[in-house]
Amino acid sequence: MGFDTVIRGARVVTSGVVSTCDIGITAGRIAALGTGLDAPEIIDATGLIAMPGGIDSHVHVSQPSGPGVEMADDFASATRAAACGGNTCVMPFCLPEDGQTLREAVAAYLAKAEGQCLTDVSFHLIVKSVDPVTLGQDLPALIAQGMTSFKVFMTYQGMRLTDAEILQVMAVAREQGALTLVHAENEDAIEFLRDKAERDGRIQPVHHARTRPIPVEREATHRATTLAEVADVPVMIVHVSNGAALEEIERAQARGVRVFAETCPQYITLTADDLDRAGFEGAKWVCSPPPRDTGEQAAIWAGLERGAFDVFSSDHCPFRFADPAGKDAPGARASFRNIPNGIPGVETRLPILFSEGVSKGRISLETFAALTATNHARIYGLESKGSIAVGKDADIVLWDPTLTRPITQDALHHGSDYTPWEGFEVTGWPVRTILRGQTVMLDGDPVGTATGQHIARAKPGVTP
């Protein structure tokens, strides 16, 4: 059999197995795994680890963020950063502007992404209003087009849905075979704490974390899983930040509810103290749910180690720091309420988990591949992706497990002007990212042209 490219001599992480072999690639797909394979292009991967290309199923790109505020990444910069961080596919959320239908929003996002992407992309939807057009027309049409997952919010004025509305959305998910993702924080409880903090003059960035304490996430997680139980649908609880919320998820699972769980790098490496840095600096770490403390980091690690989490995503939601269109938005220094919410992380997710998880011996290579690619593909219906197996897209990342260097902003490729992990020491870096057989990152730099495509997805694989 003639191959276009052979990756030779890597330790290959395939579904649940690690073995040293060659990978033969033909027409962008994996055509063979074996020994002694030959091709016009040979990639010598001796001493490297070949993993399925990272799938980051939780990123925000060019998302409307309020008057005068702009996200730091468009599709070109977000996918460039993603590729440099070892990813071959990202899943951004499609949020309608006020007055825009979901279908109009999707059309606008597809147009923005067209011809710009260095990785593949596949959109989730955000349902922020429950009306007959959204539920009766847009969702069914978009699900049929392969956007088979949508997020609902229990927090944020203008975005949050009531329990009754969430049940209506879940009913559509059940009817159409889609997956509902939930941002679980109790808005009324947050508003109560936030109003009081502002009245008391506690307006600095750290009060973002203090007014979103663990109980508001725990309660909402319990409610979200209960609503899923009532509606008889699977549900994904995104960005789980603490052990109590995870306990709610595991309790629901024990009752037979199909609950999936996601966590992110910020919850294993950052704490609320990061938001408490001098002056306005803490705004760099403002995200929701907020990072907690080292005890909660340990609880999240324990969850990762015992398989309680299905996916590890970045929740990349980038704003520039020194920018009035970013973290330093009008009013942000007068109250944490006005600080744009989110942190950049698409480029650092994989190195952080590799270093903290694999290099430090907490998780195996197989678990790493499952948490960063294989489970994302299975749960979200990316049928051609997520594994190094014959017939799959040749989406592969080569890792040098011995390479040690710190994360630094000047080596990153995202549009933000900072990284929350400046100086964080990492052992194990991706050195080559291959998208459908074409190299898109080599030795830390982007290469090649923007051949990334929007991928229509199958129905979610929701049997745990």
Residues at the interface with Zn ion (CB under 5 A): 183, 315
User: Of residues 283-302, which lie at the interface with ligand DUC (CB under 6 A)?
Assistant: 288
Q: x/- binding map, residues 395-434, to ligand DUC, per CB under 6 A?
A: ----------------------------------------
* Residues in 306-325 at the binding interface with ligand DUC, rule: CB under 6 A: 315, 317
239 touching ligand DUC, by CB under 6 A: yes
3-state SS string over 409-462? HHHCCCCCCCCCCCCCEEEEEEEEEEECCEEEEECCEECCCCCCCECCCCCCCC
CB of 343 to ligand DUC, least distance (A): 8
> Within a 10 A sphere around the Cβ of 448, how many other Cβ atoms?
15
Among 28, 205, 326, 342, binds ligand DUC (CB under 6 A): 342
**Of 154 and 396, CB closest to ligand DUC:** 154
Residue type present at position 158: G
Is position 241 an interface residue for ligand DUC (rule: CB under 6 A)? no
Nearer to Zn ion, 183 or 376 (CB): 183
Q: How many C-beta neighbours within 10 Å does residue 111 have?
A: 10
β partners of residue 398: 50, 432
Sign of dihedral through CA atoms 431, 437, 440, 442?
Answer: positive
Report the residue closest to Zn ion, judged by CB: 183
Q: How far is the CB of 51 from ligand DUC (least distance, A)?
A: 25
The neighbour count for residue 98, using CB atoms within 10 Å, is 8
Give the residue with the Cβ less far from ligand DUC, 326 or 446. Answer: 326
How far is 324 from 342, CA to CA, in rounded Å?
15
261 is a contact residue toward ligand DUC (CB under 6 A): no
Q: How far is the CB of 181 from ligand DUC (least distance, A)?
A: 9
CB of 409 closer than 8 Å to CB of 417:
yes
- Min separation Cβ 315 and Zn ion, Å: 4
What's the closest the beta carbon of residue 87 comes to ligand DUC, in angstroms? 17
Q: How far is the CB of 241 from ligand DUC (least distance, A)?
A: 11
Report if residue 248 touches ligand DUC, rule: CB under 6 A.
no
Nearer to ligand DUC, 49 or 102 (CB): 102
- Interacting residues of 257 by C-beta distance below 8 A, sequence separation 6+: 225, 228, 229, 235
Residue 133 Ramachandran class (φ > 0 left, ψ -120 to 50 alpha, else beta): alpha
Check: CB of residue 379 under 8 Å from CB of residue 260.
yes
User: Smallest distance, Å, CB 7 to Zn ion?
Assistant: 33
Residue closer to ligand DUC (CB basis): 225 or 314: 314
Q: Considering CB distances under 5 to 8 angstroms, the limit depending on partner class, which of Zn ion, ligand DUC, none binds residue 341?
A: ligand DUC
- Cβ-based neighbours of 376, under 8 Å, separated by 6 or more: 55, 56, 57, 91, 311, 313, 382, 386
Q: Is residue 14 part of the contact set for ligand DUC (CB under 6 A)?
A: no
b/e per residue, 362-396, with b = 16+ CB within 10 A?
Answer: bbebbbbbbbbbbbbbbbbbbbbbbbbeeebbbbb
Quick one: tokens of 366? Answer: 């197989």
- Residue 343 has what DSSP assignment? B
Residue of 160, 183, 208, 414 that binds ligand DUC (CB under 6 A): 183
Min CB(264)–ligand DUC separation in Å: 9
Q: Does 134 participate in binding ligand DUC (rule CB under 6 A)?
A: no
348 counts as binding ligand DUC under rule CB under 6 A: no
**Angle between helical axes of 187-199 and 214-231 (0-180°, round to 10):** 160
The residue ranges that bind ligand DUC (CB under 6 A) are 60, 183, 238-239, 288, 315, 317, 341-342
